[in-house]
Structure 1
Amino acid sequence: MEKNTPELFLDLCEGDMLSFMGQSWRIVRCRGMGRCAKVYHAVSSEGGAQVAIKAFRREEKYRLVFIKEIRNLDAVYMSRHIASVLGSFTHKGHPCLLFELLEHNLKELHLKNAAGTEPDEPSCLSLYLIQNLLDDIMKCLQHVHARGWVHADLKPANVMWCAQEGCWKVIDFGHSFQEGHQDFSQIQSFCYQSPEAKTWNAFILQHSSAPRGRKLHDKPRSCTSAVDTWSVGCIAAGAFTGMKLYEQGDVTPGGCQQCRKDCETLKCECEPLIEAVIKQRPIDSHIPKIKDVIADLRDLLIQMLQCNPEVRPTASACLQHPFFTHKLKPSYKDLLLMPTRVLRLVNVTDSPSEDGTPDEFTDILKDLREECEKYGAVRKVVMPTDKENKDKAFVEFEDALDCEAAQRALVGRQFDGKPLLATFYPINDYRSQILGTGGGS
């Protein structure tokens, strides 16, 4: 039986060596395992480059899955919100894809966020994180859908954080299809399946053993890019509540009763559900105009989760929604949860531009650079002069992993007689911050 043949997966252990792309690579650990493949973290023995290896099963049908994923990725590449493919190779009969190494997926972020909460308390993300998450995924879908493709398997495990670029990226295009040319296979994962996907999947399951070439009757309409919008709505609602919006059997194939009857006087069943779960939380109390922010998020999710795919907004339309006009700021916890290659140090000193000499300012920058360069190459160290940031410094590293090492080592350390607070900092905000800085090195 297939389940008793684990050798069909590539089984690698920590320290194992592989050779490909003209280099030797050491396996660090297994990052995850799915039905089709295992994913490993590997590091180059020569230059120290770090990558993710997606090793597919050795059977012929999984070789075809490998080929399909390469084809799909080739059709949608050239977006910063899609994990970069670095190459492909075969190892012991296993086809392998090489990807950039990403920090963690959204599912893992929920677990990381839950570490500081009570056991029975839901692990809900901040509105700042949800806004950035939605913005990045929708920009990815805007790109994918503009090329006529559908991702068809969006879920927390397939949305990953890129610390190097400071943004979310989408992975796993193995179920993707060109709109209007849907494969005869099931799409989307449980709990993120749209009503029309459930209808399609039920039909595929019913006719999976039909002879090839046989004409199938009552075939449902092919799915469209609207299935992705539904999945993202479920992801965002789950991020807000800390729980899945729908369990496996909650969504009715073809839509709720009101929508299937096309009843104009009754709301889609998603509306009262979203109105009930998207409400003010204690963690949001510090946000200005919080009622407006919550109302806009609620409205956006109601639109995205309509049973009728034809009325769901496109990715481009979602990005124009008022929810994205709110200027939300990260909390201290957010800045610890989301690593980047920019380190923010607080309690560096009093404002050197006001109370110190130019030489003192230069000495502080030099000391900070020397300390941070113990952990990796530093691009720039800057110290703002505005009142809000007068006690802060921002250190931009070449590599996000070096920034993480510096953050772990420096937090709580004494600098100029004060305990340092060390967090990461959003790359886009840092780039804006540079424009108002007093100097750097």
Structure 2
Amino acid sequence: MAGSGCAWGAEPPRFLEAFGRLWQVQSRLGSGSSASVYRVRCCGSPGSPPGALKQFLPPGTTGAAASAAEYGFRKERAALEQLQGHRNIVTLYGVFTIHFSPNVPSRCLLLELLDVSVSELLMYSSHQGCSMWMIQHCARDVLEALAFLHHEGYVHADLKPRNILWSAENECFKLIDFGLSFKEGNQDVKYIQTDGYRAPEAELQNCLAQAGLQSDTECTSAVDLWSLGIILLEMFSGMKLKHTVRSQEWKANSSAVIDHIFASKAVVNAAIPAYHLRDLIKRYCTCTLRFVTFLFTDWVYAVVAGWLDPVEVLLPLVPKENPGRGQVFVEYANAGDSKAAQRLLTGRLFDGKFVVATFYPLSAYRRGYLYQTLL
């Protein structure tokens, strides 16, 4: 795990007791305005993996910092307890309290220890950008996490490179830091997302809140997709894009700015054509497209583009004859769901083309017998 920002007050003791075990605090990994994160290891268990201790400000602290810490602790605990078990979301091991003195407790989360963040990967790339393989891997893992998150009704609300970490043990990227997350339709804080990764509707809401005005609408899961689009664009370009996304050029025509970034960088021998990534980013950073999110066609788009592995019901693709055309096989648990999907999909436009949905024998698919053309 990693944190951000400046350090703050009370350090945890070098040794602490939690869950009936003694833990050694080895080093500080990072700190922010409301919490600090430390690397810890369980004493007496040499083979046990280290963990990450996220310590929130003591409740005795006053002012905005105390409010932010209490809010962050409650939000992150509630979200992680509900979202446990997904491969691409950090694992919460437990919650406990450190007592500096009888009247000054400090709340803590014990989490799995992850490795390098996307922010660090960008720094190591020396402004050259990440490999297409790494970008694809990150896109797939974060989309998997967001699909689960959004299905459970949650908005992460602070997606940024520092909050996406690589797990060497699981060989995947994972989301961390749910301190600003909220249930869609129940947004209880107006200041969400980090500058540079803040969606236009969140920016508008932020400005209205600063002026003491109420927004008529709440933010939705679409704000997470905006952030992901900017993250992927930074991974490709190797540049921080905070000033770019705040420019008038971006606001006037973000699609043209994205085209320019892709045109200015040569991609040699990429396993996945760069225009697939470009088009995926446009879907998430172009306001007219972004609000139709995580419908079936969005998953199909990501799979067809090669930026998302088939998940759950989606079976592997037939190799495409040309970009934008292909076959997707979907296995349903029962005939009723299959018929409903066929009725809803047939005739819909997908990437400017009509969707044709038809039944296909599962036994034929499993034998590898695939039609070569779409009827």
With the length of structure 1 as denominator, give the TM-score of the two structures. Answer: 0.60
Q: Given that residues 279 and 294 in structure 1 are in contact (C-alpha distance below 8 angstroms), is that contact kept between their aligned partners in structure 2?
A: no
- Alpha carbons of 1:166 and 1:248: their partners in 2 closer, same or farther (altered >3 Å)? same
Which has the higher mean CA deviation after the structures are superposed, 190-199 or 238-247? 238-247
Which residue in 1 is equivalent to 2:261? 277
Q: What is the aligned counterpart of 1:206 among 190, 211, 233?
A: 211
CA distance in 1, matches of 2:166, 2:107: 25
Which residue in 2 is equivalent to 1:235? 231
CA distance in 1, matches of 2:73, 2:52: 15
What is the SS of the residue equivalent to 2:287? coil
Deviation of 1:72 after TM superposition, in Å, equals 2.0
Q: Given that residues 110 and 125 in structure 1 are in contact (C-alpha distance below 8 angstroms), is that contact kept between their aligned partners in structure 2?
A: yes
Deviation of 1:174 after TM superposition, in Å, equals 0.8
The answer to whether 1:104 aligns with 2:116 is yes
Q: What is the aligned counterpart of 1:226 among 219, 222, 225?
A: 222
CA distance in 1, matches of 2:146, 2:18: 32
What is the one-letter code of the residue matched to 1:188? Q
CA distances 1:333-386 after superposition (whole Å, capped 9, x unpaired): xxxxxxxxxxxxxxxxxxxxxxxxxxxxxxxxxxxxxxxxxxxxxxxxxxxxxx
- Alpha carbons of 1:98 and 1:309: their partners in 2 closer, same or farther (altered >3 Å)? farther
- Alpha carbons of 1:294 and 1:134: their partners in 2 closer, same or farther (altered >3 Å)? same
CA distance in 2, matches of 1:47, 1:55: 23
Q: Given that residues 79 and 181 in structure 2 are in contact (C-alpha distance below 8 angstroms), is that contact kept between their aligned partners in structure 1?
A: yes
CA distances 1:45-84 after superposition (whole Å, capped 9, x unpaired): 1113310000001135223431222112223333111100
In structure 2, list runs of 5 or more residues that go unmatched: 1-5, 309-375
CA distance in 1, matches of 2:165, 2:307: 23
Deviation of 1:158 after TM superposition, in Å, equals 0.4
- Counterparts of 1:420-439 in structure 2, within 5 Å, are none
Which residue in 1 is equivalent to 2:277? 297
Which residue in 1 is equivalent to 2:15? 17
Which residue in 1 is equivalent to 2:343? none
What is the one-letter code of the residue matched to 2:74? I
CA distance in 2, matches of 1:52, 1:204: 34
CA distances 1:145-183 after superposition (whole Å, capped 9, x unpaired): 111111000000000111110000000111111111111
- Alpha carbons of 1:8 and 1:233: their partners in 2 closer, same or farther (altered >3 Å)? closer
Which residue in 1 is equivalent to 2:24? 26
What is the SS of the residue equivalent to 2:166? strand
| Identical columns (%) | 31
CA distances 1:184-237 after superposition (whole Å, capped 9, x unpaired): 331000100010000111122222xxxxxxxx6x52311110000000000000
Which residue in 1 is equivalent to 2:96? 89
Q: RMSD of aligned C-alpha atoms?
A: 2.6
CA distance in 2, matches of 1:129, 1:315: 25
What is the one-letter code of the residue matched to 1:285? V
CA distance in 2, matches of 1:245, 1:136: 22
- Alpha carbons of 1:56 and 1:317: their partners in 2 closer, same or farther (altered >3 Å)? farther
CA distance in 2, matches of 1:30, 1:11: 9
CA distance in 2, matches of 1:245, 1:319: 26
Q: Given that residues 297 and 323 in structure 1 are in contact (C-alpha distance below 8 angstroms), is that contact kept between their aligned partners in structure 2?
A: no
CA distance in 2, matches of 1:327, 1:307: 21
- Counterparts of 1:69-88 in structure 2, within 5 Å, are 69-88=76-95
- Alpha carbons of 1:317 and 1:23: their partners in 2 closer, same or farther (altered >3 Å)? farther
Q: Given that residues 129 and 236 in structure 2 are in contact (C-alpha distance below 8 angstroms), is that contact kept between their aligned partners in structure 1?
A: yes
- Counterparts of 1:29-40 in structure 2, within 5 Å, are 29-40=27-38
- Counterparts of 1:103-252 in structure 2, within 5 Å, are 103-114=115-126, 122-207=127-212, 219-247=215-243, 250=246
Deviation of 1:20 after TM superposition, in Å, equals 1.2
What is the SS of the residue equivalent to 1:63? helix
Q: Given that residues 37 and 52 in structure 2 are in contact (C-alpha distance below 8 angstroms), is that contact kept between their aligned partners in structure 1?
A: yes
CA distance in 2, matches of 1:327, 1:63: 38
- Alpha carbons of 1:286 and 1:12: their partners in 2 closer, same or farther (altered >3 Å)? same
Deviation of 1:300 after TM superposition, in Å, equals 1.1
The answer to whether 1:57 aligns with 2:57 is yes
What is the SS of the residue equivalent to 2:242? coil
- Counterparts of 1:397-408 in structure 2, within 5 Å, are none
CA distance in 1, matches of 2:119, 2:7: 28
- Alpha carbons of 1:7 and 1:326: their partners in 2 closer, same or farther (altered >3 Å)? closer
Which residue in 2 is equivalent to 1:401? none
- Alpha carbons of 1:325 and 1:195: their partners in 2 closer, same or farther (altered >3 Å)? closer
CA distance in 1, matches of 2:27, 2:193: 28
CA distance in 2, matches of 1:94, 1:315: 42
CA distance in 2, matches of 1:315, 1:167: 24
CA distances 1:273-306 after superposition (whole Å, capped 9, x unpaired): 1101124745x31236x6xx11211111111101
What is the one-letter code of the residue matched to 1:306? T
Q: Given that residues 162 and 169 in structure 1 are in contact (C-alpha distance below 8 angstroms), is that contact kept between their aligned partners in structure 2?
A: yes
What is the one-letter code of the residue matched to 2:246? D
CA distance in 2, matches of 1:166, 1:103: 10
Which residue in 2 is equivalent to 1:286? 269
CA distance in 2, matches of 1:134, 1:327: 6
What is the one-letter code of the residue matched to 1:53? L
Number of aligned pairs? 288
What is the SS of the residue equivalent to 1:247? helix
